[in-house]
Amino acid sequence: MAELLRLEQATIRFGGLTAVNAVDFAVNEGELCGLIGPNGAGKTTVFNLITGVYAPTSGRISFGGRDLRGLGVDGIVGLGIARTFQNIRLFGSLSVLDNVRAACNLHRATAPGHALLRLGAFRRDEAAIVARANELLEIFNLGRFRDAPARSLPYGEQRRLEIVRCLATRPRLLLLDEPAAGMNPTEKTELIRLIQQVRRQFNLSILLVEHSMRVVMGCCERIAVLDYGVKIAEGTPDQIRTDPKVIEAYLGEDHGSSLAHH
Amino acid sequence: MPRPHVALLLALAAAYGVSHFPGGLDPYLLDVLTGIGINIILAVSLNLVNGYTGQFSLGHAGFMSVGAYLSSAVSLFVAPKLVGELSAAGEVTQGAVFLAALITGGFCAALAGLFVGVPSLRLRGDYLALVTLGFGEIIRVIFQNVEILGGALGLNAIPGSTTLTWVLAVAAVTVFVVHCLVDSTYGRGFLATRDDEIAAAAVGLNPTRYKIVAFVVAAFFAGVAGGLYAHFKLTITPTGFDFTRSIEIVVMVILGGMGNAVGVILAAVLLTVLPEVLRPIAEYRMILYSLLLVLLMLLRPQGLFNFPARRPRG
């Protein structure tokens, strides 16, 4: 299995606070990895480092062998890393279809000027994009909401749409930031199925930040555990479940009990 | 032929037809119609920035003044050297000179837009309002102090090249360009930037670039509108393009319902006609005008012409 994403001694400091401290971690091609840790452990900060929202204070992050430093958020998406947000960020006033269309711009075949000329090439390009967006929406059962403003969608559908929007950028690695937040057990089961479907059907690697042990243990092949910005463990779900350091980190938190139950 | 192009051609034909109106139009009506046309250009172009892209620019009159001054400079100082006395030249030459003057004014305004936009559009929200406000004031002070452009007295005896046909044609082109830009997959990026910049970047769009494009295109058309205005009023002064002029244009955009093309056009018409209609009650005119604005904002904060649920085309 080829290595896709690699963090080497990735570190970021905000003033006196070291939010992520010398983290080494890799995601292989086609792998489904989890990143867990107590609240404030630095999981989302790791996402922000990978996606270029923050530049690491020191250390190196590379994707497919290429250093990501200085590429900018949109440049990194262009390389094939897409993400969702902990607090869903859709284009609320745009229709469901337009949310996906906006994300298709990376693979637009015609230059912006074509929007004025509207020659054959432009119309074919637009038709192909709309067809592709519709196809994605159908795969994830969002077709019936096509013309509705994204903000009017039920919560679960908004989560799904955010994932569909990611897929429209044709990623090789998908970063999911707490996709199960606010979901009930039935919805979580549904989500695990969705994540596995996405990986299979779109042939990608997934890195999952999640609080719900059920979701992480239920679908990840490898899990890394962060605590106070430091990676304290890495391994298969079974290894993580019994790791004394992990149990200690979670002790006193709600998740300590949910971990022990597994 | 694509639908927007058909509409553009029809509008251009109509603009041409106006110049052949039998017996000509009443001068007062002509005056009002020209004012409406210029305001449509200004409002529709500003709508690209304040409406579709969700930025708050308060400097549209500043860009208008750049276009007004530079296009007048072309007509007054450059053209006579190239083609001799304008009034003696043929109709085609006059038209070509005017077009060149308008485009020069537009490009200079666009350049000013780039100059202001690149550093300030990286910032979010209120900062842009402040920077553009400052720009409007700076540009006014500059024109007040440049002797060759008339200083505080402004420029006089600008050739009266602006006709209703020119104004309506430019208005049609402005509406066409803004509509076509926004109504495309590329154009979804303006709206995405407005709704959520962080999410826009996360799907591979460059919000800063979108904002700059919107800003520069809008500045271009504001510059052209300024050129039309100068060649219509025949005299311009720096104070004619002050802060209140910018506010007027912003009000049109808000009243029309930010990002609603038809609404903004209607608002431009309404806000040009309203002061004229209120002319008989001269001294209370501005009070009533302001009162109407306050009422409209209270009763229809979403914009006068913004109606819910227009099904987007797939």
pLDDT of residue A262: 47
Q: Is A260 helix (H, G, I), strand (E, B) or coil?
A: helix
Q: Count CB atoms within 10 A of the CB of residue B35.
A: 19
Mean pLDDT (whole number) for B189-201 = 95
Chain B interface residues facing chain A, Cβ-Cβ under 8 Å?
Answer: 2, 4-5, 177, 180-181, 183-189, 191-192, 194-196, 198-206, 213, 311-312, 314
Phi and psi at B159, nearest 5°, equal -60, 140
**Residue B284 DSSP label:** G
- DSSP E strand stretches across chain B: none
Find the helix packing angle between B27-46 and B60-73, rounded to 10°.
120
Q: Please report the pLDDT score of residue B22 as a whole number.
A: 67
pLDDT over 80 (residue B1): no
Question: Which residues touch B30 (CB under 8 Å, ≥6 apart)?
Answer: B164
What count of other Cβ atoms lies within 10 Å of the Cβ of residue B146?
12
Q: Is B188's CB within 8 Å of A129's CB?
A: no
**Confidence bin at B190 (pLDDT 50/70/90):** very high
- On whether residue B160 sits in a domain, the answer given is yes
- Nearest Cα to Cα of residue B229 among B85, B89, B44, B41: B41
The count of structural domains within chain B is 1
Supply the pLDDT for residue B236. Answer: 95
Residue B275 maps to which CATH number? 1.10.3470
Chain B residues touching A166 at Cβ < 8 A: 203
* pLDDT at residue A252 greater than cutoff 70: no
For residue B170, the Cα-to-chain-centroid distance in whole angstroms is 10
- Selecting from A73, A90, A101 the residue whose C-beta is nearest the C-beta of B188 gives A101
> Which residue, among A51, A91, A146, would best test binding to B if mutated, counting the most B CBs under 10 Å from its CB?
A91
Separation of CA A63 from chain center: 15
Averaged pLDDT for residues A45-59: 94
Three-state DSSP state, A82: strand
Nearest to B67 by CA among B224, B214, B240: B224
Taking an 8 Å cut-off on Cβ atoms, the answer to whether B196 and A73 are in contact is: no
Residues whose CB falls within 8 Å of the CB of residue B160, separated by 6 or more in sequence, listed in order: B231, B232, B234
Distance CA B92, CA B103 (A): 16
Kindly state the average pLDDT of the residues B48-64: 94
Tell me, yes or no, whether B304 lies in a domain: no
pLDDT at A125 over 70: yes
Q: Do B314 and A112 touch (CB under 8 A)?
A: no
pLDDT digits (tens, 9 = 90+) for A66-92: 999 989 899 999 999 999 999 999 999
pLDDT computed for residue B307 by the predictor: 66
Report chain B's mean pLDDT, rounded to a whole number.
89
Tell me which chain A residues have a C-beta less than 8 angstroms from the C-beta of B189: 102, 105
- Which H or E run includes A81? strand A81-83
* Residue A256 banded pLDDT, cuts 50, 70, 90: very low
CA angle B304, B308, B314 (to 5 degrees): 125
* Mean pLDDT, residues A171-200 taken together: 91
Which of B186, B197, B198 should be substituted to probe chain A, the one whose Cβ sees the most A Cβ atoms within 10 Å? B186
Gap between the Cα atoms of A179 and A191, Å rounded: 8
Q: What confidence score (pLDDT) does residue A213 get?
A: 83
Is residue B48 one of the residues assigned to a domain? yes
H/E segment holding residue A216: helix A213-219
What distance in Å separates the CA atoms of residue A131 and residue B120, rounded to the nearest whole number? 37
What's the average model confidence in pLDDT over B205-222?
96
Residue A1 has pLDDT above 70, yes or no: no
Q: Would you say residue B311 has pLDDT above 60? A: no
Chain B nearest-CA distance from A128, in A, is 11
pLDDT at B238 over 50: yes
**Residue A43: how many CA atoms within 13 Å on its side-chain side?**
26
Cα B214–B218–B223 angle (5° rounding)? 150
Per-residue confidence (pLDDT) for residue B57, from 0 to 100: 92
pLDDT above 60: residue A29: yes
Cβ-Cβ contacts under 8 Å, A51 against chain B? 202
CA–CA separation, A32 and A166 (whole Å): 16
Assess if residue B271 is contained within a domain.
Answer: yes
CB B72 within 8 A of CB B148: no
Q: How confident is the prediction for chain A on average, in pLDDT?
A: 91
Q: Which of B3, B53, B203 has the highest number of chain A CBs within 10 A, making it the mutation to test binding with A?
A: B203
Instruction: Test A118 with B180 for CB contact under 8 angstroms.
Output: yes
Which tokens in the block code for residue A40?
Answer: 């404030």
Burial class (CB in 10 A: 0-12, 13-18, 19+), A56: buried
User: Across the strands, what pairs with A173?
Assistant: A81, A205
Query: Range with the lowest mean pLDDT among A1-5, A225-229, B162-166?
Result: A1-5
Nearest CB to A116 within list B181, B195, B311:
B181
The model's confidence at residue B3, banded by pLDDT at 50, 70 and 90, is confident
Is A118 near chain B, with CB under 8 Å?
yes
Interface of A with B in 199-258 (CB under 8 A): none
**Closest to A94 measured CA to CA, from A49, A146, A132, A142:** A146
Letter for the amino acid at A26? A
Report the distance separating Cα B64 and Cα B236, nearest Å.
11
Residues of A in contact with B313 (CB under 8 A): none
Question: What confidence tens digit (pLDDT) does each residue in B97-114 have?
Answer: 999 999 999 999 999 999
Please state the rounded mean pLDDT for residues B85-101.
Answer: 86
Average pLDDT of the residues in A115-132? 92
The pLDDT confidence band at residue A259, using thresholds 50, 70 and 90, is: low
Among A50, A74, A100, A151, which would you mutate to test the B interface (most chain B Cβ atoms within 10 Å of its Cβ)?
A74
pLDDT tens readout for residues B114-160: 999 998 887 777 888 889 999 999 999 999 999 989 888 999 989 99
pLDDT for A44 equals: 92
Side chain identity at A213, as an amino acid letter?
Answer: M
> CA B61 to CA B248: how far, in whole Å?
9
What integer pLDDT is reported at residue A253 of this predicted model? 53
Residue A59: HSE in the Cβ half-sphere, 13 Å Cα cutoff: 22
Does residue B307 lie within any of the structural domains? no
Residue B83 belongs to domain spanning? 3-20+29-299
Average pLDDT of the segment spanning A18-42: 92
With a cut of 50, say whether residue B313 has pLDDT above it. Answer: no
Residue B310, in any domain of the structure = no
Our CA-based measurement puts residue B235 at a distance from the nearest CA of chain A, in whole angstroms, of 34
pLDDT tier at B314, thresholds 50, 70, 90: very low
pLDDT in tens, B220-230: 999 999 999 99
pLDDT digits (tens, 9 = 90+) for A179-191: 998 888 888 898 9
More confident residue, A105 or B314: A105
- B191 chain-A contacts, CB cut-off 8 A: 91, 93-94, 98, 102
> Is the pLDDT assigned to residue A205 strictly greater than 90?
yes
Nearest to B204 among A77, A90, A98 (CB): A77
- Bridging pattern class, strands A3-14 and A58-63: antiparallel
CA A193 to each of CA A115, A187, A201, A221, A237: distance values in angstroms, whole numbers, following the listed order: 39, 10, 12, 15, 18
Does B188 sit within 8 Å of A94, measured CB to CB? yes
How many C-beta atoms lie closer than 10 Å to residue A144's C-beta? 11
Which residue among B2, B187, B205 sits closest to A118, beta carbon to beta carbon? B2
Per-residue confidence (pLDDT) for residue A90, from 0 to 100: 97
Using the predicted structure, report yes or no on whether residue A126 has a pLDDT greater than 90: yes
B306 falls within a domain: no
Mutual angle of helices B207-233 and B188-195, in 10-degree steps: 110
The values of phi and psi at residue B31, to 5°, are -60, -45
Residue pair B104/B71 in contact (Cβ under 8 Å)? The answer is: yes
Helix (H, G, I), strand (E, B) or coil at A144: helix
Share of chain B above pLDDT 70, in %: 96
Does residue B181 lie within any of the structural domains?
yes
Q: Label residue B312 by pLDDT band (50, 70, 90).
A: very low
